[in-house]
Chains A and B, each alone.
Chain A
């Protein structure tokens, strides 16, 4: 597998179109895992993925063949998503002006929360995440889904460390509240 991948990558370095197609097919699912967390619709996610894949092809000569390939392209994909977020939103203004932190005082235990998520439809799960405010969603995705630290999130999004923590706290509070509501609805039903 690794040797096949190396062959494809070397052909891609020579701008072989067949190899580019093969690499696209090979990377699509992995890149899509990242993209669906940042974009609500599949079309938008694919557009983001294609933008990221183009960056992969353009920067392929910088890739160190001794390192694992897929983490490398995942990093490029996350950075592409951040760039896309910066372009699409006047994020800085939003971040700076928004000072209040959403808090949720209710209680929702992890077990019932997992059960609710398990029973949710795919659309409901997507809506749950993408209903978050954009900045909170970015911080939540980067911290909880992609495993970045608060320091890295703050650097990537060009915000303060405190803001990163605050947005994460808000995002979690909103998610918990919605999950709690879902739980109550389920109980009623």
Chain B
């Protein structure tokens, strides 16, 4: 640049060049009109996709780990063991009056035991062993009178009383004392054992529902995990579906078999489904009417300087005037299509007592076997239909062999070569299947 214009340039650039807020507003509007410059939505970002992938892997890993826990290490028996540990007594101590009191306290409650403990302390002051025995006998007799209604304490008191009465009939002296002490030890141990058994029985009664639940779960998981998928059940199902946009509905019957491996299952089978519906259709009709028209040639014949005439004598050609009539007949057409459908589903099952919840997904392929539509060609009879399906299901086990199934599902058509393909503005169809399943 020559020097003479440099000054002009400097002066031009010396103006106020700072941006104003309105400038950015205009720019923002321009950016907003370009979708490629708009912020990427969260679900399209790589980080989000990565996190979803990691979460999915963790979920699958956790699910796999949870389902692959060996069946012989259930959690419920562990809790039973913990419960029973609380009532298992320590090694039996040398028998005495206190042992009997402990046992009696355990049965009759702390109040009564306190009363007996007071009695036992009085007895301890006495030097006579027989007096002690007699006192014990009285104590248990009193407790027996107080607890007439309680079978357990009555029986136990009776047994104690009998044992002590029999002990009282032993001859006096050292041998009697030794024998008597040993016998009381034995009886106390047996009494504790009996008590333990009774408590265990009571505990068993309390835990019976849980144990039954465990047993039922063991019954349900009849497949050995090590052997993979095994044929588990056969189900007979009735299907009903409604296509909201086209107004058509479908119903059918089918049989499915299920292969189960722990909680994972595969299902396949055969369904015969009929698709019925009505739709408005218009049929165009075209009529042709041809009228022959003859063209003739005419010549002007000059007769003289100022006169002449036309001479029409020659037929040049004959052609037809064509009239085209177009009519459109609108009427209600009925759809009647029957499909042979084969679902191939994979899923997972959760158990909760008699109830089970399934979640399965897969592909349903359908072959058109009957076309009851009068205006459709025969060549479309073998049309193929392919759907993706999601089928959550609820099962209730009536008994170990039979279960009731209810499956509200959704199928999404990805391929449709059948005559009703044009009539489906929405490709999703809700379905309901109910049926009976035979398990073994």
- What is A's interface to B at a CB cutoff of 8 Å? 14-17, 20-21, 24-25, 28-29, 32-33, 36-37, 46-47, 49-51, 53-54, 57-58, 110, 113-114, 117-118, 120, 122, 125-126, 128-129, 144-145, 147, 172, 175
Instruction: Pick the residue among A17, A36, A47, A117 that contacts B13 (CB under 8 A).
Output: A36
Q: Give 1 or 0 for each of B1-27: 1 = CB within 8 Å of chain A CB.
A: 111110111011111011100011011
Q: Are B7 and A118 in contact (CB under 8 A)?
A: yes
B30 within 8 A of A: yes
Name A35's closest neighbour in chain B (CB-CB).
B17
Q: Complex: how many Å from CA A33 to CA B24?
A: 17
Interface size on B, residues (CB 8 A): 28
| Residues of chain A lying within 8 A (CB to CB) of residue B37 | 15, 20, 57-58
- Which of B5, B13, B26, B37 has the largest count of A CB atoms less than 10 A from its CB? B5
B34 within 8 A of A: yes
Q: Are B17 and A144 in contact (CB under 8 A)?
A: no
Secondary structure at the A interface, as helix, strand, loop or mixed, is helix
Q: Complex: how many Å from CA A36 to CA B30?
A: 20
Closest chain-B Cβ to A143's Cβ sits at a distance in Å of: 8
Q: Complex: how many Å from CA A15 to CA B113?
A: 82
| Residues of chain A lying within 8 A (CB to CB) of residue B26 | 46-47, 50
Q: Complex: how many Å from CA A125 to CA B13?
A: 10
- What is B's interface to A at a CB cutoff of 8 Å? 1-5, 7-9, 11-15, 17-19, 23-24, 26-27, 30-31, 34, 36-40
Q: Are B31 and A28 in contact (CB under 8 A)?
A: no
| Residues of chain A lying within 8 A (CB to CB) of residue B40 | 14-15
Q: Are B18 and A29 in contact (CB under 8 A)?
A: yes
Q: Are A28 and B4 in contact (CB under 8 A)?
A: no
Name B32's closest neighbour in chain A (CB-CB).
A17
Closest chain-B Cβ to A56's Cβ sits at a distance in Å of: 11
| Residues of chain A lying within 8 A (CB to CB) of residue B11 | 117-118, 120, 122, 125
A24-B24, A36-B13, A54-B27 are known contacts; what are 10 more A-B pairs with Cβ within 8 Å?
A16-B39, A36-B12, A49-B23, A114-B4, A117-B7, A120-B11, A128-B8, A129-B8, A145-B1, A145-B12
Q: Are A113 and B4 in contact (CB under 8 A)?
A: yes
| Residues of chain A lying within 8 A (CB to CB) of residue B5 | 144-145, 172, 175
Q: Complex: how many Å from CA A37 to CA B5?
A: 13
Instruction: Pick the residue among B7, B9, B17, B24 that contacts A32 (CB under 8 A).
Output: B17
Name A176's closest neighbour in chain B (CB-CB).
B4
Q: Complex: how many Å from CA A147 to CA B2?
A: 10
Name A47's closest neighbour in chain B (CB-CB).
B26
Q: Are B19 and A125 in contact (CB under 8 A)?
A: no
- Which of B11, B30, B37 has the largest count of A CB atoms less than 10 A from its CB? B11
Q: Are A125 and B31 in contact (CB under 8 A)?
A: no
Known: A125-B12, A144-B9, A145-B9. A21 touches B24 (CB 8 A): yes
Q: Are B19 and A122 in contact (CB under 8 A)?
A: no
| Residues of chain B lying within 8 A (CB to CB) of residue A144 | 1-2, 5, 9
Q: Complex: how many Å from CA A110 to CA B8?
A: 11
Q: Are A54 and B30 in contact (CB under 8 A)?
A: yes
Q: Are A57 and B9 in contact (CB under 8 A)?
A: no
Closest chain-A Cβ to B10's Cβ sits at a distance in Å of: 9
Q: Are B27 and A50 in contact (CB under 8 A)?
A: yes
Known: A50-B26, A54-B34. A33 touches B13 (CB 8 A): yes
| Residues of chain B lying within 8 A (CB to CB) of residue A147 | 1
Q: Are B19 and A24 in contact (CB under 8 A)?
A: yes
| Residues of chain A lying within 8 A (CB to CB) of residue B30 | 50-51, 54
| Residues of chain A lying within 8 A (CB to CB) of residue B27 | 24, 50, 53-54
Closest chain-A Cβ to B22's Cβ sits at a distance in Å of: 8
| Residues of chain A lying within 8 A (CB to CB) of residue B23 | 28, 46, 49-50
Name B3's closest neighbour in chain A (CB-CB).
A110
Known: A28-B19, A58-B34. A114 touches B7 (CB 8 A): yes
Q: Complex: how many Å from CA A53 to CA B1?
A: 27
Closest chain-A Cβ to B171's Cβ sits at a distance in Å of: 104
Q: Are B7 and A122 in contact (CB under 8 A)?
A: no
Q: Complex: how many Å from CA A114 to CA B36?
A: 48
Q: Complex: how many Å from CA A25 to CA B7?
A: 27
Closest chain-B Cβ to A81's Cβ sits at a distance in Å of: 14
| Residues of chain B lying within 8 A (CB to CB) of residue A46 | 23, 26
| Residues of chain B lying within 8 A (CB to CB) of residue A17 | 31, 39
10 pairs of A and B residues whose beta carbons are closest in the complex: A28-B19, A32-B17, A29-B17, A125-B11, A110-B4, A114-B7, A117-B7, A144-B5, A50-B27, A33-B13
| Residues of chain B lying within 8 A (CB to CB) of residue A28 | 17-19, 23
Q: Complex: how many Å from CA A20 to CA B36?
A: 13
- Which of A49, A125, A129, A172 has the largest count of B CB atoms less than 10 A from its CB? A125
